[in-house]
Amino acid sequence: MKFRTRLIVFYLAAAIVSMVIIGAAAWGSLELYKKKTVESQLTDQSNLIFAYIRQVFLFQKASQTEINPDSAKIIAGNLSSGIGQVELYGKSLQLLCNPVEIEEESSYKPDEYKKVILKPALKGDKVFLTKNRVVYYSVPIINNGKTAGVLVIIYRLNLINEYLKNVLSILFTGAIAFCILIVIISIYISKKMVKPINQLVETTERYAKRDFTVLELNRNDELGKLSKSINSMGSQLYEYIGRQKQFISNISHEIRTPLTAIKGYSEFLYDEIAGDPDTEAALTHLKSEAGRLEKLVSELLELARHDSFQGSFVFVKTNFSNLLKDTIEKMENKAAANKLTIDPRISPDVFINADPEKMVQVVVNILDNAIKYSHRGGIIDAEMFTENNNAVFIVKDFGIGIPKEDMKNIFERFYRASNANGITGTGLGLAISNIIIEKHKGEIRIESNENKGTSVKIVLPLM
Cα–Cα dist 75/67, whole Å:
10
pLDDT above 70 for 300: no
Angle between helices 158-208 and 3-58 (to 10 degrees): 170
pLDDT score, position 103: 46
- Predicted pLDDT of residue 460: 96
Start-end of CATH 3.30.450.20 domains in the chain: 3-162
pLDDT digits (tens, 9 = 90+) for 62-107: 555 667 777 777 776 666 555 677 888 888 888 887 655 444 556 7
- Output 282 or 42, whichever has higher pLDDT: 42
**Among 68-77, 173-182, 320-329, which range has the highest average pLDDT?**
320-329
Pick the CATH number of 222-307 from 1.10.1740.10, 1.10.287.130, 3.30.565.10, 1.10.287.980: 1.10.287.130
pLDDT over 70 (residue 59): no
Looking at per-residue pLDDT, the higher value among 48 and 308 belongs to 48
Highest mean pLDDT among 103-112, 138-147, 267-276: 138-147
Return mean pLDDT, the chain. 82
pLDDT at position 388 is: 92
What pTM was estimated for this model as a whole? Answer: 0.49
Question: Confidence class of residue 197 from pLDDT cuts 50, 70 and 90?
Answer: confident
Mean pLDDT of the region 131-151: 85
In percent, the amount of the chain with pLDDT more than 70 equals 83
Q: Does the structure show a pLDDT above 80 at 232?
A: yes
Q: Where in the chain is the domain with CATH 3.30.565.10?
A: 316-461
The backbone torsions φ and ψ at residue 138, rounded to the nearest 5 degrees and listed phi first, read -130, 140
Most confident range (mean pLDDT) of 173-187, 242-256, 344-358, 423-437 is 344-358
Choose among 144, 167, 124, 172: nearest CA to 63.
144
257, pLDDT greater than 70: no
As a whole number, mean pLDDT of residues 316-322 equals: 95
pLDDT of 285 strictly over 50: yes
Q: Which superfamily does 3-162 belong to?
A: PAS domain (3.30.450.20)
Homologous superfamily of domain range 316-461: Histidine kinase-like ATPase, C-terminal domain (3.30.565.10)
Provide mean pLDDT across the span 220-243: 81
| Residue 40 to residues 45, 80, 258, Cα–Cα distance (Å) | 9, 18, 111
Does the structure show a pLDDT above 80 at 2?
no
pLDDT at 370 over 70: yes
